[in-house]
Amino acid sequence: KKKLKISGRELLSVPVQVFGLEQLQVLEMSPERESCLRYRMELLPQEIGRLRNLTCLYVDSNNLKEIPAEIGTLSHLERLTLSNNSLSSLPAEMGALQRLRSLHLANNSLTELPAPLCQLRSLTFLDVSDNKIDTIPSSIRHLEKLETLLLLFNSLESLPEDVCLLRNLHTLWLGNNHLRSLPAAFGELVNLDWGYNYCSCNFEGNPLESPPPEVCSRGPEGIRDYFSSLRRI
């Protein structure tokens, strides 16, 4: 078998036989689409490192408190979903997942953007919405291929200038934070799909003062013009 979905009304652990399926590529242990089920795994077993051929691992909506260091041995992993758990940190070994393109971490208990994420050069989709993140490290500039960054419902008071170096960003959601200003170079993110109603660049729920919301709605050119006018004063 190359794809396996584990179901159980109140799943607490993974059958040990699963880790003998060395050719497994997709492993799903999430009740995400089945509301009648409650999964309550608190720990992803260390034996997960034996599944070296995994490309997709879905463990949303459990009660995970910890991710083992062995996750870093899954060198073929491209998609990892860990939303709706109880994670407060991530292991440094996650930085070894250089094929990882999509990482879901929404609704956990993270308090900062973990440094290992900034080593994931292939990452194109990163969702860390609804945590308690209040700072983003400047090393985020290393995520050169990042296309989608979702940071809704956090506690951000500012964005590092290095966010403006993520020139491949198409979608950036910043709604419901504590942002009062944007970096002066924010208008250089010209690949953002500004769409109507901020659908791909969302600032709603922030006390923005510089630039004000009506300027943000004009897109990158409006933001560049705004900061240029400030420099001339």
| Each residue's pLDDT expressed in tens, for the chain with a length of 233 residues | 699 998 777 788 888 899 999 999 999 998 866 655 677 889 999 999 999 999 999 999 899 999 999 999 999 999 999 999 999 999 999 999 999 999 999 999 999 888 889 889 999 999 999 999 999 988 899 999 999 999 999 999 999 999 999 999 988 999 999 999 999 999 898 888 765 444 567 788 899 999 988 888 788 888 888 988 887 76
Residue 58 has phi, psi (to 5 degrees) of -110, 115
pTM value? 0.90
Angle made by CA atoms 213, 216, 220, in degrees to the nearest 5: 170
Number of domains, the chain: 1
87's torsion region: left (phi>0), alpha (psi -120 to 50) or beta? beta
CATH of the domain at 194: 3.80.10.10
- What integer pLDDT is reported at residue 133 of this predicted model? 95
The string of DSSP codes covering 57-110 is: EE--SS---B--GGGGG-TT--EEE--SS--S---GGGGG-TT--EEE--SS--
Cα–Cα distance, 68 to 148 (Å, whole number): 26
Domain holding 183, by residue range, is 3-231
